[in-house]
A and B are shown apart, each in its own frame.
Chain A
């Protein structure tokens, strides 16, 4: 198990890739974001994006999946997140794009019974173009001195 104090500032993780298929884009859009440029190639061709593209919220959800997989693989005692300081959608994500995430621990702050890891996360496509970037604290369990360690 990894606790808040086990993870240094500057620690870097790379997660993915994950491929986004047209079917995934259409399914997510139908459930959460039924705007024409996420639902129909014809309407999307005429839109600002120039083609059928994923909802920005689907890219957020996929980023979360990449982050959660990383936290689970690293056995980090994650407790959720209080929010997102800032996020930018930089480029559209199209069908069959392969996304990966770069996660960097920018800073750490300690609270009474847990700590925050301030994460800078960038999501890239297969051409290494950044499609989305964000900054968000991840809450991680803090191990108090004297606690027994089983790892």
Chain B
């Protein structure tokens, strides 16, 4: 059996606290930073390279929500392999919420972020009798090895039907 098959059949009960993954990298281009900024965060430091020079950031920087959205993109891509063959596409993924999200350093055009997650907790609360909550600490580092982004997210994972009340 391959590692891939083991992962995709995991239920809430099978996901171990302490599991750590480096799950993807993304290089932020100037155009995508501006596109995201114009649509969702229209401030000069996200939309206008010239005007951005005169701001606190001294140049164009990616919106924090763009950095978060790329986290999601890379996570989904990484998790795709686990989901193959599951009827609704996957048994987890719905987010409950997050806390302690910090945008620590500017992300500029050409910067490459590498994202990691670590399973830190499995909460006691059960949702609708069917879902457990997995808490993970997520981080992103830039190409200089600096921590630029961190947060803790709570995501639903389906309980093993054999264990349900």
Contact = CB atoms under 8 A, between A and B. Distances in A.
Interface of A: 31-37, 43, 46-49, 55-57, 60-62, 64-65, 68-69, 71-72, 78-89, 114
**Residue from B70, B87, B93 having most chain A Cβ neighbours under 10 A:** B93
A32 B41 CA distance: 16
A79 B56 contact: yes
Interface in B43-71: 43, 45, 55-57, 63-65, 68-70
B64 A69 contact: no
Nearest to A88: B97
B103 A81 contact: yes
A86 B99 contact: yes
A contacts with B: majority SS: mixed
Given A36-B90, A61-B41, 9 more contacts: A31-B69, A32-B69, A36-B89, A37-B94, A46-B87, A48-B94, A48-B131, A57-B68, A69-B42
Contacts, number: 105
B96 A89 contact: yes
B72 A55 contact: yes
Given A34-B76, A35-B76, A85-B100, A65 B69 contact: no
B21 interface: no
Q: State which size class the interface on B falls in.
A: 35 or more
B40 interface: yes
Majority secondary structure, B binding face: mixed
B96 A32 contact: no
Contacts of A33: 69, 72-73, 76
Given A31-B73, A57-B69, A65 B42 contact: yes
> 10 shortest A-B CB distances, which residue pairs?
A36-B89, A88-B97, A83-B102, A61-B40, A84-B101, A32-B69, A86-B99, A83-B101, A46-B88, A32-B73
A43 to B, nearest CB: 6
A64 B76 contact: no
Identify the interface centre among A35, A78, A82, A89: most chain B CB within 10 Å of its CB: A35
Contacts of B101: 83-84, 87
A80 B90 contact: no
